[in-house]
Amino acid sequence: MIFQEKHELIRKLAKGFADRELTSEVLDEAEERGYFDRALLDKMGKIGFFGIKTPKELGGQGSDCLAYVIATEEMCRASAAFGLYISTQNSLVSMPIMISGSREQKEKYMPPISSGEYIGAFGLTEPGAGSDAGGMTTRAVLDGDYYILSGRKTFITGAPTADIAIIYAKTDPDKGLRGISTFVMDMRAPGVSLGKPENKLGIRGCPTSDIIMENVRVHKSGLLGDLGRGFANAMGTLDIGRIGIAAQAIGIGQACLDESVKYANERKQFGKRIGEFQGVSFKLADMYAKLQAAKELTYQAALLVDAGVTGGQISLAASTCKLYSAEAVNQIAYDAIQIHGGYGFMKDYRVERLYRDARILPIYEGTSEVQKMVMAAQLLKR
């Protein structure tokens, strides 16, 4: 794909930020302790990385989905854990409000989300409701001007450092998917507590935990959209969110390829650079081809969003790029380790972390199997 100059400059900005700020010391420290300094997130917010697509009148940058993809990709090329904040803030936290929020709600929440004053989390998954989001048991019961929220959300990205959370809860348990509603919850409200930060395989620099709600009072002004429309809100959000995970994937994939090419040019065995052996050079060619295909699918999905396409066509495009990129980048990361041999298995080499970080891609924001369900449903409609 040929980019416009504007998008090239956005890439330059994101890459410049990553090169200057995400030093190996910063990344190793985050990996070790499980979170990044808030000051670094504040810096990111000031540049505009948290409100890329958000309209200017709501405190955002007024840019587009392709800019969002490029920024996420470049940041994840340096650190998938750090880049995750871009996709969480821009899609999982912003989209539910942009899709269903009233004007007042948008004016209240979007400026601090865009600036990074509020770091948010997205609470859909529960211990017993993963791919089957409709099986959730979190309840919201109206009591005067307040909804009383009770339940447990699990594996919530960024929960330990979040100021607010989007919470999906059943307001009418008898109505199944049509009984789910969306709330914005203050993470400091009485009754909110956190599970222990999870000890994860990858993306360790971005903390994950449960959110436990025990009779948390959320004012009815925190209800997003109509009662019972929460499932549609979540699915609409994830359609765009999935493009962000694909962007994360291609960033990780590019880093794997960069490292592998470098190593293949340096490492010598049998008196030759290992890149001169077909066993290695063909791998590089395959990695490149997969990565380019993943990129094109992802950029294409972003361009469709920017062209104003909605509904089934976007669901299909987003799931396709997420499915393909997540799977392809896991193969790319596997090959990157293989090219590095024993060194790739050691934490001293970057590919070790990239391999672990890639593993979440076919799982979160809809497993690869869920993407296939979404895609097949669209295909069979035709």
Partner 1 sequence: MKIIVCAKQVPDTNEVKIDPVKGTLIREGVPSILNPDDANALEAALSLKDTYGGEVHVISMGPGQAKYMLRECLAMGADDAVLLSSRVFGGADTYVTANTVAEGIKKIGGFDIIFAGRQAIDGDTAQVGPQIAGRLGLPVVTYVQAIREVKEKSVIVERQMEDGYEVIEIPLPCVLTAVKELNSPRYMTLMGIEDAYAREITVWDEKDLNIEPEKCGLKASPTKVWKSFTPPPKGKGQMLGGSAGDAAAALIDALNHKNMLKKEG
Catalytic residue positions, numbered = 365
Which single residue is written with the structure tokens 């100059």? Answer: 5
Residue 336's closest CA among 356, 311, 364?
356
The answer to whether residue 56 forms part of the interface with partner 1 (CB under 8 A) is: yes
Output DSSP code: residue 225: S
The Cα 149–Cα 142 span in angstroms is 9
Among 27, 30, 31, 48, binds partner 1 (CB under 8 A): 48
Measured from the CB atom, is 226 or 266 closer to partner 1? 266
Alpha helices by DSSP H, listed for the chain, are 5-21, 24-33, 38-47, 65-78, 80-87, 94-100, 103-115, 230-266, 278-306, 312-340, 350-358, 368-381
- Is-contact 299 70, C-beta < 8 A? no
- Is 188 in a helix, a strand, or coil? coil
Among 36, 61, 113, 216, binds partner 1 (CB under 8 A): 61
The Cα 320–Cα 316 span in angstroms is 6
- The tokens describing 345, both together, are 């298995």
Residue 151's closest CA among 189, 110, 192, 117?
192
State phi, psi for 102 to the nearest 5 degrees: -75, 170
Each residue 70-109 as x (binds partner 1 by CB under 8 A) or -, in order, gives -x--------------------------------------
The answer to whether residue 13 forms part of the interface with partner 1 (CB under 8 A) is: yes
Work out the burial of residue 104: count CB atoms within 10 Å of its CB; fewer than 13 is exposed, 13-18 middle, 19 or more buried.
Answer: exposed
Please, which of residues 194-213 interact with partner 1 by CB under 8 A?
A: none
Smallest gap from Cβ 64 to partner 1, in A, equals 9
Using CB under 8 A as the binding criterion, the count of chain residues that bind partner 1 stands at: 20
Smallest gap from Cβ 46 to partner 1, in A, equals 8
Smallest gap from Cβ 17 to partner 1, in A, equals 6
State phi, psi for 322 to the nearest 5 degrees: -70, -45
Measured from the CB atom, is 71 or 167 closer to partner 1? 71
Among 15, 62, 212, 367, binds partner 1 (CB under 8 A): 62
Measured from the CB atom, is 18 or 280 closer to partner 1? 18
The answer to whether residue 9 forms part of the interface with partner 1 (CB under 8 A) is: yes
Name the segment binding partner 1 (CB under 8 A); options: 32-40, 59-67, 165-173, 353-361.
59-67
The answer to whether residue 5 forms part of the interface with partner 1 (CB under 8 A) is: yes
Please, which of residues 280-309 interact with partner 1 by CB under 8 A?
A: none
The answer to whether residue 52 forms part of the interface with partner 1 (CB under 8 A) is: yes
Smallest gap from Cβ 357 to partner 1, in A, equals 25
Smallest gap from Cβ 62 to partner 1, in A, equals 5
The Cα 332–Cα 87 span in angstroms is 22
Q: Which residues of 297-311 are buried (b: 16+ CB within 10 A; e: fewer)?
A: bbbebbbbbbeeeee
Among 1, 3, 19, 46, binds partner 1 (CB under 8 A): 46
The answer to whether residue 10 forms part of the interface with partner 1 (CB under 8 A) is: yes
- Is 202 in a helix, a strand, or coil? coil
The answer to whether residue 175 forms part of the interface with partner 1 (CB under 8 A) is: no
Measured from the CB atom, is 10 or 301 closer to partner 1? 10
The answer to whether residue 257 forms part of the interface with partner 1 (CB under 8 A) is: no
Question: Which residues of the shown chain bind partner 1 in the complex (CB under 8 A)?
Answer: 5-6, 9-10, 12-13, 16-17, 46-49, 52, 56, 60-63, 67, 71
